[in-house]
Amino acid sequence: MRRKALLVAIVVVGSLTVPLSATAAIDEVNTTKLRQAVTVSGILQHERALQRIANRNDGTRAAGTPGYDASAAYVKEQLTKAGYKVTEQPFEFEFYQEVTPASLSQVSPAPQDYDTATFTYSGSGDVVGGIVAATNTVVPATPTPSSAAGCAATDFVPASATEPQVALIQRGTCTFASKAANAIAAGYDAVIIFNEGNPGRTDLVEGTLGATVSVPVVGLSYADGAALYASAQAGSTTVAVSTEVIAETRTTVNIIADTRKGNKEKVIVVGAHLDSVLAGPGINDNGSGTATILETAIQMSKLNIQPRQQVRFAFWGGEELGLLGSENYVATASDADLAKIYANLNFDMLASPNYVRFVYDGDGSADPGAPAGPPGSAQIEAVFTQYFAAQGLVTEPTAFDGRSDYGPFIAAGIPAGGLFSGAEGLKTPEEAVAYGGTAGVAYDACYHQACDSITNLNTKAINELGDAAVHAIMSLARSQAGFFEDGSRMAPRSTQSVPDTVFDYKGSSLVR
């Protein structure tokens, strides 16, 4: 029993000591030496290497491309030189790439071109056919989301067996994949999904279907979709839809590096996704997380740090296509191996230009409707918040919303936590006062774009969030005490239940 350690636990931060609450249950760990060794300059060396790789490979490091393969080779080489046991975990996935932008136009009764976008995993094709709307479309839109259009097979009149027809479906309540699948099963030759029309759901909708479908699937704004719906209700309306994509099975890899020391029965998985989107080099998303944990691993080796728990540095592939690498890792691990993992730390975007210091909300206290992480997640959150508080830096909680690689871990009941500097969301006036930067501007205006390059990094964010990442990794690796009241590191399996909302870890706004 480590009652004394639980009651007097402290974290040493530089020359500062910060008392932790009894629930934090992580004992005294001095992380100064490692934090001083992991520098902004060292992190940027890896970022520049990733940028050079993208430059040589059509500006991308996306999974399934030569740019990703070169990125994986670079990380593997660096870790091998540092003395780690490095393995590759290959897995197959459905590669998708848009070859030419989608087009959508009304042919009759009045010719008109629409602003559209191909859904990820759409099929290729050129279809000219009549519009048929899902039977439960809600136009005009209600003030709050309410459309279940296309969520049931009965929402579609069976398509013509002789003439091409295009299904028109309103966004809402179920996944894009379900809507498209129901329309395709009803015999439609193409699918248009238009936005729902509620506040925040009016612009051109883009999303993913999760797996390749056989027909073109494109998006529309609410205004254009509603106009097309009105035209179809008034009489015969014909549209032309065109998409051209590559959709095929390819192989990519996770890179896994284990410390040679540390208790192999108590493993900390420290993860960051290595892939970018096809549109750009991904130097913030997620070169910043990749470079930070890579430099941390290298400096741990150089300083000959001996962790009490084994640390497993994981560089995930295919995150941008649906958390594929981390999902594969958890799905293929045995129950015995999963039982050895007592924490997952996730670092996905640490250098956003208009950044905020977001900490994953392990205890679910920030929002009454937000899910908490599995037991132990609250204590991981406290490691970060106590560290920042000791530095005089404010933080803000961010929910486990399923948008990064912690998702499969929390679904398996494994405690998780991490940091996030912000993506496409807009900085609030209150956040601008607290963190600096510009209110009303995205945390990262280059999120998922070609401009997410080496010039898209905030070195102040790298310094602050990078130090906090190092502190948490070192604290969990060296701590003798555990997360819980008796000093243990894992909750009894019978109590490791997670609310159903946590299991739906792919439930981001991108798929509904």
Residue 277 has pLDDT above 70, yes or no: yes
Give catalytic residues, as residue numbers.
319
Same domain membership, residue 433 and residue 284:
yes
3-state SS of 118-153? ECECCCCEEEEEEEEECCCCCCCCCCCCCCCCCCCH
The β-bridge partners of 253 are 90
Same domain membership, residue 400 and residue 456:
yes
Query: Closest by alpha carbon to 452, among 278, 237, 327?
Result: 278
Q: What is the mean pLDDT of the chain?
A: 90
Side chain identity at residue 422, one-letter code: G
CATH number of the CATH domain containing 122 = 3.50.30.30
Q: Taking the CA atoms of 107, 182, 121 and 277 in sequence, report the sign of the dihedral they define.
A: positive
Same domain membership, residue 274 and residue 174:
no
Same domain membership, residue 393 and residue 351:
yes
Give the model's pLDDT for residue 403. 87
Same domain membership, residue 207 and residue 173:
yes
CATH number of the CATH domain containing 443 = 3.40.630.10
Domain carrying residue 175: 96-248
Same domain membership, residue 244 and residue 263:
no
Residue 53 has pLDDT above 90, yes or no: yes
Residue 128 lies in a domain: yes
What total number of domains does the chain contain? 2
DSSP one-letter code for 347: E
Residue 3 has pLDDT above 80, yes or no: no
Q: List pLDDT tens digits, range 14-42.
A: 334 344 443 445 667 899 999 999 999 99
DSSP per-residue letters across 250-302: EEEEEEEEE-SSSEEEEEEEEEEE--B-TTS--TTTTHHHHHHHHHHHHHHHH
Same domain membership, residue 207 and residue 286:
no
Residue 254 lies in a domain: no
Give the model's pLDDT for residue 374. 95
Residue 253 lies in a domain: no
- Phi and psi dihedrals of 257, rounded to 5? -130, 120
Same domain membership, residue 66 and residue 101:
no
Which of 228, 248, 268 lies at the terminal end of a domain, its last residue?
A: 248
Same domain membership, residue 13 and residue 138:
no
Same domain membership, residue 313 and residue 384:
yes
Which of 209, 226, 248 lies at the terminal end of a domain, its last residue?
A: 248
Same domain membership, residue 184 and residue 137:
yes
Residue 216 lies in a domain: yes
pTM (predicted TM-score): 0.81
Work out the percent of the chain whose per-residue pLDDT is above 70: 90
For residue 109, whether the previous peptide bond is cis, meaning omega lies within 30 degrees of 0, is yes
Residue 91 lies in a domain: no
Residue 330 lies in a domain: yes
Residue 125 lies in a domain: yes
Which of 248, 267, 289 lies at the terminal end of a domain, its last residue?
A: 248
Work out the percent of the chain whose per-residue pLDDT is above 90: 81
Same domain membership, residue 275 and residue 413:
yes
- What is the per-residue burial (b if ≥16 Cβ within 10 Å, else e) of 257-275? bbbeebeeebbbbbbbbbb
